Each structure stands twice: as C-alpha cells, then as structure tokens.
Amino acid sequence: ARGADGGDGASVWQHVFLLPEYLKDDSKKMKSGLVFVKLANPCSGEGTIYLFNMCLPQLFEIKVFKEKNHSWFINESVQSGGLLHFATPVDPLFLLLHYLIKADKESFQGKFQPLDQVVMDDMFPDCILLLKLPELEKLLQHVTEEKEVDKKKYYKYSKEKTLKWLGKKVNQTMAALKTNKVNVSARVQSTAFFSGGQVSSDKDEDYVRYAHGLISDYIPKQLSDDLSKYLKLPEPPASVRNPPSKKAKLSDEPVMAKEDYTKFNSKDFKTVKKNSKMTAAQKALAKVDKSGMKSIDSFFGTKHVKKK
Amino acid sequence: MENSYEETIDKRRVHLRPDTLRDPAPASLHLLPCEVPVNRPTPVGRFFTPAIRMGRDGLEASFRGRSLRGEEVVVPPGFVGYVVTEEKAEVLMGKQDDHERQEQELLEPPEALERDCDRFMGATASFSSFTVWGLESIPGPDAKLRGALSWPSLAAAIHAQVPED
C-alpha cells in the first residue's frame, strides 16, 4: 500500500472522505458526473457545497468533522487539519422548500407558479440542477398545493402541509436516535450512568427536542419556530439555537502555520488531567449537555455557540 | 491555499472522477491528536508505525516524545473511505484525447458540466478503517469522532422519504 499517497515530493493536499459505497458501483457506468456544486443552504441561505451525482441523479451534502489540533498520517505522508468529510444523501425537498418559501414571501405571494420559475437563483445558478432530480412531483406534494393547467403543474407553498411533513421527519429521526442510542438529555445520561445502563424510555420530549434540533438545520429559523409550536415543545429557556454561520464548512479552515510542530491537542491533555481527579459521578455530570437542543454541528466537533 | 476548493467552486466546477473510486490502493491512515502544519511526504513507516505496540488497553505509540494511545476505527457500514487529491494540470492533459471527449459529450446531456477551465479531483487511495490516537489515553467511546461516525445512519433517517398517510 505504499506510494498511494500521490506524493512525488511536492506538497499535495489530501482530503479524507467517506462516500457511500454504491458510488463505487455506479462508477463503472460513468466517466464523469460527480461534481461539487455550491447551492443555497436551506437553513441559512448561505452558499454551501454539495456533491451532485448527475447519473442517478442524486444530491449529497458534505459535512466535515474537525477537531482542533489534529492531523493525518496517510501512508508515507502527513496532512494537516485532520479533517474527515462525510458525503451523505440529502432530501432535495429541503432545498426546494427554501425557494418555495422565498417565492411565497417575495414575488409570488399566494400565486401558483411553475417550479422552474421558483427555483431560480442569480447567486447560485446551479440550483437548476435540483430540477433534474427524480420524483420531484411526488416530493412537492408534501409541501405545496398544486394545480394543473394544460398538463403543466403549478405550485404554491403550503405551511400546513409542510409542518405535517416536518412532523413526520421528526418522528423518523427520533426512531433513529433511539436505535443509535444517542444520549439526548442530561437526565437520560445520568440515569443511565447510575442505574447501570437502564435508559428510561419515557423521556420522549427529549427525543422530540433533539430531533427538532437536527431537522432545524435544514429549514429557515421561522419555520423551525413554527415546527416547535406544531410539535408542542415547551419554549426553550433562552434561544439555544446555533447561529447559521456556524454550520460545518467544507475544509476552508485556515491551518495555522505554527512554528512549534509539537503543538499537541492541549484540550485533550487538560481533560485527561482533570478527569483523573474527578469521581465517576462528576465525570458523568461534566459530560451532560446543558443546551437541551442539539444540532448537527454537535456531530462534527464544532462548538455550540449560544446566543447571549 | 491549496485546500480551498470552496473558492474554486464559485468560478469553476470541481469534478470528482468516478472511475478513480473503483479500486484505488488501500491506504493506512492515522488520526493524530496534534497539529502538524505541513502537507508533505514524511517517513511514517520508518519513525512511527514500527514503534506501535499492543498495550493493556489498546495500541501504544509515541510521537515527538509524547505518548499516544490508539484504537482501530471502522468506517460506517455502507461507506468507503477515500483519500482525494486534485489532479495536476499536466496529468489531466493526457487523460482524454479529443475523440474521447467528443464521444463523451454525445453520451451525456449538454449540461454535462465539464467545461474547459474546470478542475478535477480523484481518489488516490481508499480505506475501510483507520487508527485514531489520543494523547496519553485512548479516545474511547465518548470521543467526538464516535459521534461523527454515527452521522450517516442519523442522516439517512433525516433524509428518508416520509411514509404516506
């Protein structure tokens, strides 16, 4: 396995990716067709990089796991940053919803429009690729009212239908959280700790809140608030949502050129020292997540930033 | 900065060559708990890997005088790890002759996305597991990386189509 690092003496930037296995099988059929494109993030509206498979076609989002002070050894080479990129399939309806809501708010208030007039974007012209995705008509039924005139479909954003659709998304996300045994609250975690792994299953509200947090990363803030009401979640004490600008970004983090090559992850080091003096119970408490509301960022090593 | 293909994507599309995903050579990867601010060949096999030992609670190694504890991490089911690099312009030139390119244009729709100034990336290596290292203690089940590796299964649930009424 030597020599696969592409290193011929020159500095080569190596990106570490996890990609769905089936892309490998599809690759037999295609010579080109995988392309990184910048599209409007449905939560923040900011440009975000997605991977588009022209052949299926299918859209993938790219999330980056990064922790401070990490690097890779890749065969006989070193790669700074220690980033790990995940490409996972994304429901394109979240991205379409961004445009449907925008159109409803701005130009076409209350009017039915053909999809190709809704999904237009000077900033991110590649958004038209979304129109190539399969079964759009079926997807759009979840979030729009539709009309057919002369065999052409016209759509109008429906908040009611959208909330119902999002409610189902929350449900299936909750089920996955339970299957994956993700600790969703302080109470669940410490209970599990003290009673030897017995996670109480009656804290459904914690799961709903957590799932709502995950889904909220794909919808605008206003809709997230509406969804919270729809799910009858009690108001969080203060706004604990992440500002949209804190989204996991694609490998653009500048790597500091420090002279000290031996700069280790000092945080890890401190944690180790501190933990060694803590009792088991203290450790369990230290791990407790106090925000009560998680977002995708928590999976990718970016810090939670709370407003105020 | 060479890593900034995000910048490039504004102006030129960045392609990932599907044929490179087929069977790139397996790679050995180590995620280190320290910053090494360079990207270049380095004699890992001479100074790092030979000193890896199986200790009481996992792998043991040392790097720049610090003691490391490590463990093997498997990539999530249904996924393959790839090392992806940008192809150099001169490599690219000889890659496709005009005839081949024309043929491809015929096969694919006009918006097949390849344009003259586009950039290309390809997988140079693949992996199904890697070693994650912690400073003086093994990263363990609470490591943030563990949470991240459960992301694909959560993402699948978030993005799956909802059941019909």
Model confidence band, residue B8 (pLDDT cutoffs 50, 70, 90) = low
Instruction: Please write the tens of the pLDDT for every residue from A173-192.
Output: 999 998 888 877 644 443 34
Instruction: Please write the tens of the pLDDT for every residue from B129-156.
Output: 999 999 999 998 888 898 899 999 999 9
Q: Of the ranges A183-192, A266-275, B72-81, B118-127, which is most confident?
A: B72-81
Q: Which domains does chain A have, with CATH numbers?
A: 17-157 (2.20.25.530), 160-245+278-299 (no CATH)
Cis, peptide link before residue A243, omega less than 30° from 0: no
Q: Would you call B66 exposed, middle or buried from its count of C-beta atoms within 10 A (0-12, 13-18, 19+)?
A: middle
Closest CA to B85 of A219, A74, A157: A74
pLDDT score at A208: 93
Work out the minimum CA distance from A302 to partner chain B, whole angstroms.
10
State whether A299 and B2 contact (CB < 8 Å). no
Q: How many helices (H) and strands (E) does chain B have?
A: 6, 9
Average pLDDT, chain A: 76
Is there a contact between B85 and A14 (Cβ–Cβ < 8 Å)? yes
Return d(Cα B85, Cα A13) in angstroms, integer: 6
Work out the minimum CA distance from A115 to partner chain B, whole angstroms.
19
Return d(Cα A191, Cα A196) in angstroms, integer: 8
Return d(Cα A109, Cα A237) in angstroms, integer: 34
Return d(Cα B163, Cα B118) in angstroms, integer: 40
Report strand pairing: A14-20 vs A84-89: parallel
Question: Domain B5-159, what architecture?
Answer: Beta Barrel (2.40)
Closest CA to B18 of A1, A250, A54: A54
Tell whether B116 lies on the interface with A, counting CB pairs under 8 A: no
Interface of B with A in 83-112 (CB under 8 A): 83-86, 104, 108, 112
Q: Which residue has the higher pLDDT, B41 or B13?
A: B41
- What's the rounded mean pLDDT across residues B41-47? 94
Residue A117 pLDDT exceeds 60: yes
Burial A164-187 (b: 16+ CB within 10 A, else e): ebbbbbbbbbbebbeeeebbbbbe
pLDDT score at B124: 96
Please report how the helices A159-179 and B151-159 are oriented relative to each other, as an axis angle in degrees rounded to 10: 150
Instruction: Please write the tens of the pLDDT for every residue from A69-98.
Output: 999 999 999 999 999 999 999 999 999 999
- What's the rounded mean pLDDT across residues A110-125? 92
Q: If DSSP codes are grouped into helix, strand and coil, which group holds residue B137?
A: coil
Instruction: Please write the tens of the pLDDT for every residue from A252-296.
Output: 333 333 333 334 444 443 333 333 444 444 444 444 343 444 556
Report strand pairing: A58-65 vs A84-89: antiparallel
Domain boundaries, chain B: 5-159
- What's the rounded mean pLDDT across residues B101-125? 60
Per cent of chain A over pLDDT 70 is 66
Model confidence band, residue B46 (pLDDT cutoffs 50, 70, 90) = very high
pLDDT score at A144: 96
CB-based contacts of B48-53 (< 8 A; 24+ apart in sequence): B48/A73
* Nearest residue of B to residue A74, measured between CA atoms: B29
Return d(Cα A300, Cα A68) in angstroms, integer: 11
Q: If DSSP codes are grouped into helix, strand and coil, which group holds residue B149?
A: helix
Work out the minimum CA distance from B114 to partner chain A, whole angstroms.
8
Assigned token pair, A271: 């944690």
Q: Which residue has the higher pLDDT, A144 or B116?
A: A144
Interface of B with A in 9-68 (CB under 8 A): 9-10, 13-22, 24-45, 48, 64-66
Q: Which residue has the higher pLDDT, B47 or A110?
A: B47
- What's the rounded mean pLDDT across residues A188-209? 56
Return d(Cα A59, Cα A42) in angstroms, integer: 14
CA B79 to chain centroid, in Å, comes to 11
pLDDT score at B110: 35
CA angle A261, A262, A266 (to 5 degrees): 125
CB pairs under 8 A between A and B: 313
Q: Which of B36, B81, B114 sits opposite A16 (nearest CB)?
A: B81
Alpha helix positions (H), A63-185: 92-105, 115-118, 136-140, 159-179
Neighbouring CB atoms inside 10 A of B7's CB total 11
Phi-psi region of A195 (alpha: psi -120 to 50; beta: other; left: phi over 0): alpha
Q: Tell me which of B39, B57, B165 to substitute to probe the interface with A (most A C-beta atoms closer than 10 Å).
A: B39
